[in-house]
């Protein structure tokens, strides 16, 4: 490709360009400051490419999401979450032998070190499960010395342990918050079934996994598995660029995901729908409030930083929500409110002009609620799904051999040099 030309103070400089496999074009500005003493300003990095990546492709205008070239719709319909984990981390879908070996490794490493379980005693029952998850993932580094190694086998072993143990940590976090005894993983259950078993088993009775729940959870985890350079994934890459160990790096991603503008949005949706329910289900009132410039009300679950079309994940989840509630014979008024909100928004010029379509968070909380998962666990579920994406991006960055410690620039707007004044003279 031809170089890009930039006019700076009447001087033309040339900057290299890159073209991705889907014809995206990027301009390499790494030499801009050294050549011109200028930098670019891009708050929120909305137009800044931080890396070259072969993991996930998004076309926000067309509503396209693909993992390693596979459409999200096809993966959601045909794949298991374990297969998607393998695909994201290793680049290809596993064959039968690879799948079985990978699944066996995940079952083998699912248990936590007994000493780790004592850490849960230090958390109050009121502790948010995300606080517990973040802390416990960080603590895993103390029990996984190979996480400080950059040898291929050690990195692979650390990633396997992360995938295997984080779901156990998540389930134990729920049990802790409910004052329930921990339930150990079983070697005869698959990844999703094991998680449900550890969450909901009665220690006195055998637990039989509801296949409707297992199918729905498999779908939700796949849909959340990766989403390119989002806030938490970018945080993982930034923390990892310092060569922090894998578990500290993943914990940083968990902390970023916790925010209500990111992973916490699905919890905010349920709380919003519940508010509307208590207000006589007057959803039109809240649609009008969302359009009112003088109102502080925010309609959660609509719009997306990347998608200027219908979020492809939302289409899949909306169908799944109908299926789950129908099969469970649940009549959830929140689902009806959600449908009404969606119907109004899709017809309203205000929403259409601003590309405010339902996103992945809009229906996911309804499914989690139907499964009996409390709202304060919703973001933990998001983290469980997003984990393979974080691992894939961390591994891609480390394996590239070209990673540099992240260090953004700034434009300073503070005071110029000042003389220090003794305190008695101020």
Which CATH class for the 71-231+248-256 domain? mainly alpha
Active-site residue, selected from the candidate residues 224, 227, 304, 395: 304
Torsions phi, psi of 118, nearest 5? -70, -25
Q: Model's pTM, two decimal places?
A: 0.92
Q: What is the pLDDT of residues 27-75, one digit of tens each?
A: 999 899 989 999 999 998 988 999 999 999 999 889 999 999 999 999 9
Q: Can you give the pLDDT at residue 388?
A: 98
Is 304 assigned a catalytic role?
A: yes
The CA distance from 337 to 317, in Å, is 16
Q: What is the pLDDT of residues 94-109, one digit of tens each?
A: 999 999 999 999 999 9
Q: What is the pLDDT of residues 323-363, one digit of tens each?
A: 888 888 877 788 788 888 888 877 888 888 888 888 888 88
Q: Can you give the pLDDT at residue 265?
A: 83
How many residues are present in the chain? 426
Strands 56-59 and 25-27: unpaired
Domain ranges of the chain: 71-231+248-256, 265-370
CB atoms within 10 A of CB 355: 15
The CA distance from 272 to 268, in Å, is 6
Q: Can you give the pLDDT at residue 358?
A: 83
Q: Can you give the pLDDT at residue 379?
A: 93
Cα–chain center distance at 103: 22
The CA distance from 299 to 75, in Å, is 29
Q: Can you give the pLDDT at residue 204?
A: 65
Give the chain's largest Cα–Cα span: 79
Nearest CA to 69 among 85, 51, 87?
Answer: 87
User: How distant, in Å, are the alpha carbons of 176, 202, 209 from that of 194?
Assistant: 17, 14, 9
Strands 11-15 and 17-19: unpaired
Which CATH class for the 265-370 domain? mainly alpha
Active-site residue, selected from the candidate residues 197, 224, 227, 361: 361
Is 393 assigned a catalytic role?
A: no
The CA distance from 331 to 32, in Å, is 59
Q: Can you give the pLDDT at residue 1?
A: 77
Radius of gyration of the chain, Cα coordinates, nearest whole angstrom: 23
The CA distance from 202 to 95, in Å, is 36
Which segments of the chain have a pLDDT < 50? Answer: none
Nearest CA to 297 among 305, 306, 287, 307?
Answer: 287
Contact status, residue 387 vs residue 340, Cβ threshold 8 Å? no
């Amino acid at each position: 490709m031809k170089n890009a030309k930039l006019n700076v103070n009447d001087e033309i400089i040339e900057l290299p360009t890159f073209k991705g496999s889907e014809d995206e074009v990027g301009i390499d500005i790494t030499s801009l400051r050294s050549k011109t003493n200028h930098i670019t300003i891009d708050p929120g990095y909305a137009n800044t490419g931080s890396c070259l990546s072969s993991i996930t492709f998004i076309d926000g205008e067309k509503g396209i999401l693909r993992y390693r070239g596979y459409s999200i719709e096809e993966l959601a319909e045909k794949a298991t979450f374990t297969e998607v984990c393998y695909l994201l981390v290793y680049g290809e879908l596993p064959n039968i032998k690879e799948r079985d070996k990978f699944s066996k490794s995940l079952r083998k490493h699912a248990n936590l070190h007994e000493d780790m379980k004592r850490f849960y005693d230090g958390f109050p029952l009121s502790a948010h499960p995300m606080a517990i998850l973040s802390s416990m993932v960080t603590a895993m580094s103390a029990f996984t010395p190979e996480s400080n190694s950059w040898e291929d086998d050690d990195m692979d072993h650390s990633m396997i342990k992360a995938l295997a143990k984080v779901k156990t940590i998540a389930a134990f976090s729920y049990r802790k918050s409910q004052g329930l005894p921990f339930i150990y993983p079983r070697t005869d259950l698959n990844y999703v079934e094991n998680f449900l078993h550890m969450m909901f088993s009665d220690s006195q009775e055998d637990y039989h996994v509801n296949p409707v729940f297992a199918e729905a959870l498999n779908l939700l985890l796949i849909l959340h598995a990766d989403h390119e350079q989002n806030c938490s994934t970018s945080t993982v890459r930034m923390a990892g660029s310092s060569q922090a160990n894998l578990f500290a790096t993943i914990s940083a991603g968990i902390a970023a995901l916790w925010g209500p503008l990111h992973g916490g949005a699905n919890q905010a949706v349920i709380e919003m729908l519940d508010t509307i329910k208590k207000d006589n289900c007057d959803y039109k009132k809240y649609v009008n409030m969302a359009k009112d410039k003088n109102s502080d009300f925010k309609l959660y679950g609509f719009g997306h930083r990347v998608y200027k079309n219908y979020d492809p994940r939302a289409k899949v989840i909306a169908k799944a929500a109908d299926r789950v509630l129908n099969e469970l014979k649940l009549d959830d008024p929140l689902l009806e409110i959600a449908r009404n909100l969606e119907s109004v928004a899709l017809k309203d010029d205000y929403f259409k002009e601003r590309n405010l379509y339902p996103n992945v968070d809009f229906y996911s909380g309804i499914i989690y609620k139907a499964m009996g998962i409390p709202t304060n666990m919703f973001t933990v579920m998001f983290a469980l799904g997003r984990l393979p994406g974080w691992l894939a991006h961390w591994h891609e960055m480390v394996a590239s051999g070209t990673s540099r410690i992240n260090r953004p620039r700034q434009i300073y707007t503070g005071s110029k040099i000042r003389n220090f004044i003794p305190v008695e003279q101020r």
